[in-house]
Structure 1
Amino acid sequence: MRDFNFTIDWNENTKLYESRLGWENVKTDTNRKRLEKYLVEYKRLFKDNMRILLNLQTQVNQLHKIFYFELNDQCHFKISRSLQDFEFNFNWIFKGQSSRNFIAIGKMFVCINCLIEVVDTCLEFARINKHYSLKHQCESLRKMLYELQYSYERDKTALDLDLDYKRIVPPLKVEKHTNYANTLHEVISRFS
């Protein structure tokens, strides 16, 4: 399995351990173990969001293939260029350049924006040509991509505030309708 490693450096000037998590986001701490624990949680958060991103990428790619014959050449060119950009940037994240964490973290947002470009291209085509099925699917995918971006930022902020990242979502509690079968038999018996 591909893995993403964070590096921890010792800064002689500030006498702190530090790890770069973005262009301007540097996490520092006096205790190396506490910083390592934070990075384990951050890595879990990052990998979970990368899995969601890959799932959304397959949906965007499937949308492109389903409406392949309806789209014009200009749309195909823009879409294929954006999908190639996505693949390049996604593969760059896991190339083992562990000393460049701050660049690799930013590549996730580049990947999200590449998918948004694909969806926006399809959405523009759908609006011009009044293709309502494509329009509705694009709007829902676009909303999911923006939600991914928002939830990733929200979870990163929660980690910075020393809140735990909750990976497991409890299942919904659904009550079974026990009276449905009795009511159905009563209705049937009335009409018989």
Structure 2
Amino acid sequence: MTEQSALLLRKQLAELNKNPVEGFSAGLIDDDDIYKWEVVVIGPQDTLFEGGFFKAYLDFPHDYPLRPPKMKFITEIWHPNVAKNGDVCISILHEPGEDKFGYEKPEERWLPIHTVETIMISVISMLADPNGDSPANVDAAKEWREDPNGEFKKKVARCVRKSQEMAFD
């Protein structure tokens, strides 16, 4: 399986290099390890995250695409669906099958047809439209629900500024 997953990841990387997708860029952290990617998510237009450059790591299992990668933001980001340690919590990255809590339908969870591109598009839409039902960052979710233009907006703006400074280091 390892060979197959490595080939598939190489193919997806080549495809993204050839036809970049708006909103993010992707590459390997280390050219010798196809299972560890670095992605930069560009804050979507007309959202609080606009103008930000958020770096994240994608860590693929050796049985990819049967199981999803893990995604972790390295750049600080204040968002209901990103844990304070940077772990991204969205349905598409959850292990396939039934949700024992009953929040998600199996088809919302990981499916082997997903690619880096479909993952990243989901993450970009998550930034634009947080899911308050199952927050990974309870404080951010509370602020987003109760006062989206107050404290939440301020913290996001701070993250965007910091991300811009880091992007040009």
Tell me if TM exceeds 0.5.
Answer: no
Bin of the TM-score, shorter chain as denominator length: 0.3 to 0.5
Higher strand residue share: 2
Higher helix residue share: 1
Q: TM-score, normalised by structure 1?
A: 0.32
